[in-house]
Amino acid sequence: MDAHIYKRVLLKLSGEQLAGKFEGGIDSDLVSWLGKEVKKVVDAGTQVVIMVGGGNYARGAQLAGHGIGRVTADNIGMLATMMNALAVADIFNNEDVSARALTNITADQVADKFTHRRAISDLGKGHVVIVAGGIGRPYLTTDTAAVSLALELECEVVLKATKVDGVYDKDPEQFPDAAKLHTISFQEAVSNDAIKVMDKAAMGLAMEHNLPIIVFDALQDGSIANAAAGNAGTTIS
Ligand code: UDP
């Protein structure tokens, strides 16, 4: 496999992952551990941007209805990502993993506004940049926002942390002989309904701009560093 060390990567962490052993909220022990794992990547010379999801608190599509409009629901979803970004940044800093939370929704007293210039400057100073609020507009998920942000910040790859360590030729939970695929094409990932690693908008945007996505399990020792060196999971390109 490709043993190239990326200069800058975007790590997408969903709310479900941040909740760890809990049903909702944040598993701070797990996030501390993730901080140490991310530090290995930074120490290897790779700049790290993190897009956090918010599904551990709220997801727009699930909240909409019963009197809550879709735009309001998505705004609530974006606020949920803000809670995660603030908590993750604090927990990382507490672990001596220098991190800055920047937000795409305006909340001046809560977090600094995301700007391209500020993000690049923070990354150059060795900080992990954690982005809240997706891209700040409704009708999107943080997966799509992650791809958009990776393009904006010229990240070479999106590291999409999932519960499984990659994409399999069939469901590994049902079929013990399922084989992990090291690479698949965007075309396959989009057209095969059994492969549900990211929503189609995210895949489409990545495909259009040839931005590779690595699907991997972040909860194994060293796996974030391995993914950031192109040595883990399945690469969709
Ligand atoms: N969201 C949004 N615009 C964005 C990113 C997110 O409106 O650019 C909202 C959307 O409602 C989404 C919620 O924020 O459901 C939380 O993000 P997501 O569901 O992607 O979180 P994850 O599943 O990764 O935890």
Is 3 contained in some domain?
Answer: no
Is 86 contained in some domain?
Answer: yes
CA of 4 to the centre of ligand 1 (A): 31
| pLDDT one-digit tens code per residue, 101-147 | 999 999 999 999 999 999 999 999 999 999 999 999 999 999 999 99
| pLDDT one-digit tens code per residue, 151-168 | 999 999 999 999 889 999
Residue 119's CB is within 10 A of a number of other CB atoms, namely 21
Is 31 contained in some domain?
Answer: yes
Beta bridge partners of 167: 181
- Angle between helix 142-152 and 200-208 (nearest 10): 20
Q: Does residue 20 register a pLDDT over 60?
A: yes
In terms of DSSP H, where are the helices of 15-152? 15-19, 28-43, 60-63, 70-94, 116-124, 142-152
Is 111 contained in some domain?
Answer: yes
pTM of the model: 0.96
Is 1 contained in some domain?
Answer: no
What CATH number did the domain enclosing 118 receive?
3.40.1160.10
Q: Does residue 74 register a pLDDT over 70?
A: yes
Q: Which domain holds residue 25?
A: 8-236
**Average pLDDT of 49-60?**
97
Residue nearest atom 4 of ligand 1, based on CA coordinates: 134
Is 81 contained in some domain?
Answer: yes
Is 2 contained in some domain?
Answer: no
Model pLDDT, residue 3: 57
Model pLDDT, residue 144: 98
Please indicate whether residue 53, judged by its CB atom, sits closer than 6 Å to ligand 1: yes
Split into its structural domains, the chain has a count of 1
Please indicate whether residue 79, judged by its CB atom, sits closer than 6 Å to ligand 1: no
Question: What is the number of the ligand 1 atom nearest to the C-alpha of 55?
Answer: 25
Residue 161 CA to its chain's centroid (Å): 7
Is 155 contained in some domain?
Answer: yes
Model pLDDT, residue 196: 81
Q: Does residue 18 register a pLDDT over 50?
A: yes
